[in-house]
Amino acid sequence: MGAVSLDLHHVYSGKVRDLYQVDEFHLLMVASDRMSAFDVVMSETIPEKGRVLTGLTNYWLREFTGQVPSSLVSCDPEEIDQFVPGFLEQTQWHGRTMLVRRAQMMALECIVRGRLAGHAYEEYMAQGTVCGMALPSGMRLTDPFESPLFTPSTKAESGHDIYIDLTTAASMVGEETLDQAKTLCLDLFARAAASLAKVGLVLADTKFELGFVDGALVVCDEVLTPDSSRLWAADQVRAGETPPSFDKQPFRDWLSTKEWDRTPPPPDVPEDIVKVTSDRYVACYERVTGHSLAEWYGEWK
């Protein structure tokens, strides 16, 4: 992202996002173009990735304004500048920055699954269950569940999150909080899935992060992005087959051909793979929102 000239306290850097303290009640969440796989950050960046993640999060939260509580205050550089004087001059941050209310984060990742895929498919094939829940026999990859499943996981400081059953989740956050989280996430998933179906997309699964602001449970961090969701073109879904997805699939496909032990340093990613991955992110934004990414805050690289 380059050097920071704003007088902000750096709070945290994740694989993709950097967090800065604005004041006692607000944070800046800046989405970079960093790309990670198997918990390792690549040396190369993916142009426009941060803008796509931020723009889509803003789209969904604004789409459901008044229906889904969130920590987001604004992505508008002019509005952010009112909280962070000088932000307007930081053009490299425009379009990839969210001003958010500070939240007390819930110690769970809240995953909702509408289709059998990914980890759920692997567990089902081995045990006939998904996160410990028994399912009907004979299901195939991409088959829809009778109703979406709420399947939480732990939030690991490093390494992979661990999928847990609802009893374990309740022991971590409390029965009442878990019920609130389940209701909120299932409702948001249903709204998003219906909206995406109108543009020919299937929401197979997604991950939400929740936290408390002024005692209320709200949606935090990214929402329904290619990094947090598995999205398929409806006309390409075939039972028993893995459909193309609007995420870093081209990058993962390329990486799977490399002899790499999944520890740093990662292999060098060629320019054509970087470009096709960037194009996939941009295509996702434009198909979901119905707008060109050029209309979103920030500048094309």
State the CB neighbour count (10 A cutoff) for residue 286. Answer: 17
Q: According to the model, what pLDDT value does residue 5 have?
A: 59
Instruction: Give a yes or no: residue 54 inside a domain.
Output: yes
Give the global pTM.
0.94
Same domain, 110 and 236: yes
State the CB neighbour count (10 A cutoff) for residue 214. Answer: 8
Same domain, 202 and 215: yes
Same domain, 143 and 68: no
Q: Are 118 and 151 in contact (CB under 8 A)?
A: no
Question: 161 falls in which pLDDT band (50, 70, 90)?
Answer: confident
Instruction: Give a yes or no: residue 184 inside a domain.
Output: yes
Same domain, 135 and 178: yes
Domain range for 200 is 105-246
Q: Residue 58 belongs to a domain with what CATH number?
A: 3.30.200.20
Same domain, 208 and 134: yes
Q: According to the model, what pLDDT value does residue 157 have?
A: 61
Q: According to the model, what pLDDT value does residue 248 have?
A: 80
Q: Is the pLDDT of residue 159 over 60?
A: no
Q: What's the structural domain count of the chain?
A: 2
As to burial, measured by CB atoms within 10 angstroms (0-12 exposed, 13-18 middle, 19+ buried), residue 132 is middle
Q: According to the model, what pLDDT value does residue 1 have?
A: 47
Q: According to the model, what pLDDT value does residue 60 have?
A: 97
Region 280-290: what's the mean pLDDT?
96
Instruction: Give a yes or no: residue 165 inside a domain.
Output: yes
Q: Is the pLDDT of residue 168 over 80?
A: yes
Last residue within a domain, chosen from 217, 246, 275: 246
Same domain, 111 and 207: yes
Last residue within a domain, chosen from 246, 274, 296: 246
Question: 3 falls in which pLDDT band (50, 70, 90)?
Answer: very low
Same domain, 84 and 176: no
Between 300 and 26, where is the model more confident? 26
Cis before 265? omega within 30: yes
Same domain, 134 and 159: yes
Question: 160 falls in which pLDDT band (50, 70, 90)?
Answer: low
CA 281/CA 50 separation, integer angstroms: 10
Mean per-residue pLDDT of the chain: 93
Same domain, 153 and 91: no
Q: For 29-48, write each residue's pLDDT tens digit.
A: 999 999 988 889 999 999 99
Last residue within a domain, chosen from 206, 221, 246: 246
